[in-house]
Amino acid sequence: MAKEKMVQQITSMDEDFAKWYTDIFKKAELVEYTSVKGCMVIRPYGYAIWENIQHILDGMFKATGHENVCMPMFIPESLLQKEKDHIEGFAPEVAWVTYGGTEKLEERLCVRPTSETLFCEHYANIVHSYRDLPKLYNQWVSVVRWEKTTRPFLRSREFLWQEGHTIHATAEEAMEETERMLNVYADFCEKYLAMPVVKGRKTDSDKFAGAEITYCIEALMHDGKALQAGTSHYFGDGFAKAFEIMYTDKENKKVYPHQTSWGVTTRLIGAIIMTHGDNNGLVLPPAVAPVQAVIVPIQQFKEGVLEKANEIADTLRAAGIRVKVDDSDNSPGWKFSEYEMKGVPVRIEIGPKDIENGQCVTVMRHNRQKDFVSLDGIADTVKQKLDEVRDGLYKAALENRENRTYKCTDMDGITKALEAGDGFVKAMWCGDEACEDKVKEITGVGSRCIPFEQENLSDVCVCCGKPAKKMLYWGKAY
């Protein structure tokens, strides 16, 4: 009963994808709105997902030699203006502090939309010799961008992220770093979030304000829209020149260093929802699930049931599994639908009969497969189920992407392909920005990236018919 009631409360994703998304983040208690538009409360269950993401990524950053720091949240206007492309890109969307207490500030301060300028000011202070290089820094903070249209996790005025900022002696080293961190992001998304991504490079019209090259990973959501899941930028020596950062090299010459920056945000939680969620709620990849296995006792009032449930929990916990026993007085049916809504990867049911038979029931969230398994070796069994969930999620997401990726060689082909539903379009491009604009205007899909894995679909641009330089991924984007 309870179960049906809960399920009815969620909008089906086929009916209204946007409303389905909202239902999930509300009912799974990830986020709550506040009275400031575009600013959200990340609730314990949502924040625990972010903590798991942080924990894994931070380990990957440190394993690749990075150190954490913390920069101020305020940037003086004059500092933000030092690099001209950068200020042009960000000025329209920053929040300005103009008063401290009752006193008007002499120079207004923006709340960081990103921290390149702060890192540059710092590097100018501490980088003097080749011995000071590289600096491989990262910070976990929130940033503010005054967006017009906002949506929890996907586009908010304040969001949490990490921003890596590195400075190197040579262009080669900086390029290697840019690529290395894109690979870290891609590996993280695929391995831990079970989310396949396309690695590529942004076209010039779409790169980060101040960057020479922007790499990105692009994922495809359930509804066929693309989501940029992470970016890694190569700055060359542009910021160094603007901020007069120079170092003395081994030949005792003063030269400019080369920089990078790279970031992922709480957007990844939105990506998890829209990649794996279904009409029963959230579905979490085990690596970042706050609760990996929930134990629901059946006929818990009967002697020995709760004891056994807690015993199993202890065994799983000792094996490093995040586990919860729900011994509340809600019905098992209510609990089933509650933890489906919350996307707990594995449910374990244990009742008097199971105990008699030395077994329990496991149900995997993503495909609802139900198994009777022995209590002997239960920790290994559950670990195996968690791996199965991860692999099943990845496979399903990859299938969705493949089913929704269309190879097109002319404009009509794009329009026709998209009649089946939104998705990635692969098509050739001459390299001209005018063609990017025209494809978007006519078909509705913009360029997402120039993928590293190139294919030769034809020799000519899908738009103008001139010789093609690259194959692009196109799509509608979040």
Pick the closer one to a second copy by CB: 14 or 67. Answer: 67
In 235-292, where does DSSP find H-type helix?
238-242, 267-276
Place of tokens 């309870």: 2
* Long-range own/partner contacts, residues 85-91 (CB < 8 A, 24 or more apart): 85/209, 85/210, 85/238, 86/116, 86/117, 86/209, 86/210, 86/239, 87/209, 88/209, 89/208, 89/209, 89/210, 90/114, 90/145, 90/209
Name which of 181 and 194 has its Cβ closer to a second copy: 181
Dihedral class, residue 244 (left if φ above 0, else alpha if ψ from -120 to 50, else beta): left
When asked if residue 318 is in the footprint of a second copy (CB under 8 A), the reply is: no
- The residues in 388-447 that bind a second copy, with binding defined as CB under 8 A, are none
The verdict on 121 binding a second copy (CB under 8 A) reads yes
Size of the site for a second copy (CB under 8 A): 54
Residues 47-86 that bind a second copy (CB under 8 A): 47-48, 50-51, 67-76, 79
Q: Which is nearer to a second copy, 65 or 421 (CB)?
A: 65
For residue 79 the two structure tokens come to 């500092």
40/284 with CB nearer a second copy: 40
CB-CB neighbours of 230 under 10 Å:
28
Measured from the CB of residue 43, what is the shortest distance to a second copy in angstroms? Answer: 6
Nearer to a second copy by C-beta: 55 or 469? 55
**Residues 138-157, mask of contacts with a second copy (x by CB under 8 A):** ---xx-x-x----------x
Peptide bond before residue 134 is cis, with ω within 30 degrees of 0? yes
411-419 vs 433-443: helix axis angle to the nearest 10?
40
Nearer to a second copy, 69 or 318 (CB): 69
**How crowded is residue 302: how many other Cβ atoms within 10 Å of its Cβ?**
12
Mask for 15-44, x = binds a second copy (CB under 8 A)? -----------------x-xxx--xxxxxx
Displacement of CA 212 from its chain's centroid (Å): 23
Q: In the complex with a second copy, which residue's Cβ is closer, 141 or 246?
A: 141
d(CA 427, CA 450): 10
Among 4, 16, 84, 97, binds a second copy (CB under 8 A): 97
Smallest distance, a second copy to C-beta of residue 266, A = 9
Residue 109 is a binding residue for a second copy (CB under 8 A): yes
Q: Which chain residues interact with a second copy by CB under 8 A?
A: 32, 34-36, 39-44, 47-48, 50-51, 67-76, 79, 91-103, 108-109, 111, 118, 121-122, 125-126, 137, 141-142, 144, 146, 157-158, 160
